[in-house]
A and B are shown apart, each in its own frame.
Chain A
């Protein structure tokens, strides 16, 4: 399939958005959903065709001398600031973009299909706003696809904002619910704040390098990531420094902050758990599989720059490693199934970030020249597998919530008997995320741990510990939902497995979660386009499986059958438990900072200044203008003579004043 078909992959969701958004109102609700699914199916088929052609074909310039190159399909100028600084809007395929095409379209298609069943009530009637929902899903898919194929930083920024917007719209889908409105606002404000830094970073970077384009920032002449090009791009900064750090390090750190906002890194993670107020399929698509990895994608995109600017890389490494642990700790005590999954997502994305950040350090620059960069590959691989099994977990959670009408796992217990398919699918997801071979998560997480051990044993042990916690909290959720004790049936309907539109995505994603680990990622998705020869590191693999098994065993002991142990432990460590349950009071801290410090301390005086002095000034201006206008109105009241008079005086005054200025 010609790679230029990528345009169709971008265009179809956009057209679907306009079509469903404008014409959908007058159409049958179910029909809009079906059309949305069909549109997405076509997109997915083309995206697969393009991505597979990119990876396995060789006739369209995608491989040269054994190096997989970036292929720019088209790249016209869009907005030219100066002759050299031009914003382009283009489409580019490189290993990570092609991989993301597969991830996004797969999960999006599954979510489109799943929502047909999920967004209906128990009588099978579509919910209010069904068309709007599908239009927004299409908008999101378009934005996310546009983001990954972007050819330059500015284009990424534009689509970054658009995914933020569609996320906002979808979180606030149930706009009658105050919680959803708050959550959508919170997500928007927090990510916008981060995007401000992103924009700053772009400005600094483009000011010093004179370009937004990746092919001048990171891609070498052979079309693959090149350290030499990144080195020379950074050198154009001329060694300018600010507060003791090079401006490039500042720029890259700012760009990382932008990515951290979307990817919910500590301390910008606070919006993600609240974002679970949106419909569950949306959480699966946006807040588990695709949009939240935009930050990881961004860092991966600029990887060579970060490799050279080690300072920025160290920050990412520390933030990532801390966030992974922090979020895992919170996930261990959450009682709301979606919140627990949300923190699990934060933790897993932090895994990817850390993996990217350690890869630069594994032996320094020379090693990377020699073909290492395991961390990069591992991170992208984990992004791929995680998207699949986390989407699976969220869709299972959606099915459960759909059945019992609650997010609290106290309402769930013992569902295994009633929802066997969901139970098995959820178990597969849990095994995958816990890293049990041969499920997908094992392969990618193992590579990450190897990369971390290569940076330093301390990093490796830390991340292994977090991996163990992952296994524990996931199986805690699993046992609490599906076992623990007999399910109490409250409603007249006993919970049961869902319609086929919801079951089919679960089965497909579960299958992918089992086999995705065997995708030869180290051949396909490497930072320099060359094949990476890795072997299973038996020490790391064995120990990580052992740790995962300990985590699962612990969860089994505590939560499989109803017992007193969890409560005892909770009472014993009540302070710690409470702190973790309240997410270590980060939200309260933000509340305090925003409401008490910023609003009270800064905004109130400014508001007073604004109301009193600025408004007063403008009111004065307005009243002066008003009376002046009133005065002139009398002049203008129908009298041609006065018009002509003003005209003549104006022309003469213009001439006389100029004469005085020029000639004297």
Chain B
């Protein structure tokens, strides 16, 4: 075996290294040092994130017989996820040192790092076996994370629901892959892609549907979404925020790679229309359900379903511009959603209150938290000049680049849904700024790590949209993988 192939995966190796250090710390350090573990893991991950920003020379290419690919686009996607994970870790330091959770705090960080490793494999995999390994690595530990708050019944329920539905969806996904294998005799993305050119069989269509269902589960696209609300509500908030942004971002990127590389040949005939229907359903149903929610975590669960529909607008474009806008959307979404979850986590940790009515008059007592939440809601709703506006704008433009009338209609539907979504995002703002309550949440002295995390998010929300260089940079990055889209037909 040629060990130099490992040089193609500097980010993965770095991540494993961080994981091992955290693991060793957790296992061998005396118990009194345990309270420093969260800080240790977070700083280490932050350092690693900075390191990962500098690509090793000549680290682009295929490794392990073409199973693993490293290119500028995967590199940038992994970096974005790294940033998100650091923010999630910062937000959970205080929480993992709580009395009830502290016994297991090591597991929290180890599992987060391990699932992230799985997602990296998903992003870089160019072979279905490696992809499935990545998918499962990124999937099963989440159940353990969801069950983290052992003392709460909802936490167990969330974990059980997650694990059962995840196993089922994996089964469907692999059934789909087995069909593909039966038709093409290969599990390599590119080989399958060239084998199915011109093929028009029911089996292929079924395979595409099952693959979409399998990955769509991770993205919580309608109708594969039903686990989302229960799991988001039941899981600890730190886990929910991790699940809603990091996991979703990785899956979206991998989804696009599979659809374009494997099924690119049947784009216009098959999966464009499947995705078309799914996007409309996802955005609309996510929106309609979000309107009725009073529990903020459940509310954000449905909002994130609807947001996933917008992310899919980049996928349905099946072009380099679409991919740029999708990555950009994920980046912005990470900042906006983590800001929202960050505020919820702080308030939940301090007071245990998570419904919208609890937030009445929050601005009076906690102006900064309310301000951050407002920015997050504005950004998620797509109000200029915050980043969310630009990400929506670019994803619409990306979709419109296909030039087909059907896609214009889709974009129009998405636009109308944006207006509907403003209604429920502004409900939260209204509760915080306008409504009054007798038992307002008192002033919360948030921990400095949480403050840093929220500040980073706020700066991201404000700066990412206005700093145009970011989009231009992403565009340059994805231009290096344009050949991938040649198969699309």
Residues on A facing B (Cβ under 8 Å): 76-81, 89, 622, 625-626, 628-629, 636, 638, 640, 642-644, 646-652, 654-655, 657-659, 661-663
Contacts and interface: CB of A to CB of B under 8 A. Distances in A.
Given A89-B468, A640-B165, A647-B213, A626 B292 contact: yes
Given A643-B161, A647-B224, A662-B269, A652 B209 contact: yes
8 A-B pairs with the lowest CB-CB distances in the bound complex, closest first? A650-B223, A655-B209, A651-B213, A78-B468, A643-B226, A654-B209, A655-B206, A625-B288
A78 B469 CA distance: 7
Interface string B55-87: 000000000000000000000000000000000
Contacts of A643: 161, 165, 226-227
A498 B370 CA distance: 43
A643 B230 CA distance: 11
Contacts of B157: 638
Contact of B168 (A647, A655, A657, A661): A647
Given A647-B168, A663-B200, A654 B213 contact: yes
Contacts of B278: 654
B212 interface: yes
Most chain A CB inside 10 Å of its own CB: which residue of B161, B270, B288, B390: B288
Contacts of B255: none
B217 interface: yes
B4 interface: no
Most B CB atoms within 10 A — which of A78, A636, A651, A658? Answer: A651
B468 A647 contact: no
A636 B226 contact: yes
B489 to A, nearest CB: 14
B202 A644 contact: no
Contacts of A649: 223
B152 interface: no
A619 B292 CA distance: 14
Contact of B226 (A76, A622, A628, A646): A646
B468 A654 contact: no
A640 B172 contact: no
Contacts of B270: 658, 662
A640 B163 CA distance: 10
B469 A76 contact: yes
B229 interface: yes
B164 interface: yes
A629 B302 CA distance: 13
B341 to A, nearest CB: 22
Contacts of B390: 79
B427 interface: no
Given A89-B468, A655-B206, A647 B288 contact: no
Nearest to A643: B226
B169 interface: yes
Interface in B205-246: 205-206, 208-210, 212-213, 217, 222-224, 226-227, 229-230
Nearest to A650: B223
Interface of B: 157, 160-161, 164-165, 168-169, 172, 200, 202, 205-206, 208-210, 212-213, 217, 222-224, 226-227, 229-230, 269-270, 273-274, 277-278, 288-289, 291-292, 390, 393, 397, 468-469, 472
Contact of A629 (B200, B217, B277, B289): B289
B205 A646 contact: no
A629 B288 contact: yes
B209 A662 contact: no
A567 to B, nearest CB: 54
A259 to B, nearest CB: 23
A622 B292 CA distance: 10
14 contacts: A76-B468, A77-B472, A640-B164, A644-B165, A647-B213, A647-B224, A650-B222, A651-B209, A651-B213, A654-B212, A655-B208, A658-B270, A659-B206, A662-B270
Nearest to B390: A79
B273 A647 contact: no
A640 B160 CA distance: 9
A654 B208 CA distance: 10
A636 B270 CA distance: 30
A652 to B, nearest CB: 7
A297 B372 CA distance: 39
Nearest to B292: A629
Contacts of A651: 172, 209-210, 212-213, 224
B206 A650 contact: no
Nearest to A657: B277
A81 B471 CA distance: 12
Given A77-B468, A79-B468, A89-B468, A644 B289 contact: no
Contacts of B269: 662
Nearest to A641: B164
Given A644-B164, A646-B226, A651-B213, A663 B468 contact: no
Nearest to B161: A640
Contacts of B288: 625, 628-629
A81 B468 CA distance: 12
Contacts of B202: 655, 659, 663
A642 B161 CA distance: 11
A201 B326 CA distance: 32
A645 to B, nearest CB: 10
A163 to B, nearest CB: 16
Contacts of A654: 209, 212-213, 274, 277-278
B164 A658 contact: no
A602 to B, nearest CB: 23
Contact of A662 (B160, B200, B222, B289): B200
Contacts of A640: 160-161, 164-165
A663 B269 CA distance: 10
Contacts of A647: 165, 168-169, 172, 213, 217, 223-224, 226
A80 B274 CA distance: 30
A649 B226 CA distance: 13
Given A77-B472, A646-B226, A658 B274 contact: yes
A344 to B, nearest CB: 37
Contacts of A80: 472
Most buried by A among B164, B168, B202, B468: B468
B226 A659 contact: no
A89 B390 CA distance: 15
Nearest to B469: A76
A649 B222 CA distance: 12
B468 A658 contact: no
Contacts of B223: 646-647, 649-650
B119 to A, nearest CB: 22
B173 to A, nearest CB: 10
Interface centre among B292, B393, B469 (most CB of A within 10 A): B292
Contacts of A650: 213, 222-224
B224 A658 contact: no
Contacts of B172: 647-648, 651
Given A76-B469, A636-B226, A644 B168 contact: yes
A663 B289 CA distance: 35
A654 B292 CA distance: 28
A126 to B, nearest CB: 23
B157 to A, nearest CB: 7
Contacts of B164: 640, 644
B195 to A, nearest CB: 18
Nearest to B157: A638
Contact of A658 (B160, B165, B205, B292): B205
Q: Which of B172, B205, B224, B269 has the most CB of A within 10 A?
A: B205
A78 B208 CA distance: 38
A514 B172 CA distance: 86
Contacts of B217: 647
A631 B209 CA distance: 27
Given A646-B226, A654-B274, 6 more contacts: A77-B468, A77-B472, A629-B292, A638-B157, A647-B168, A663-B202
Nearest to B172: A651
A636 B229 contact: yes
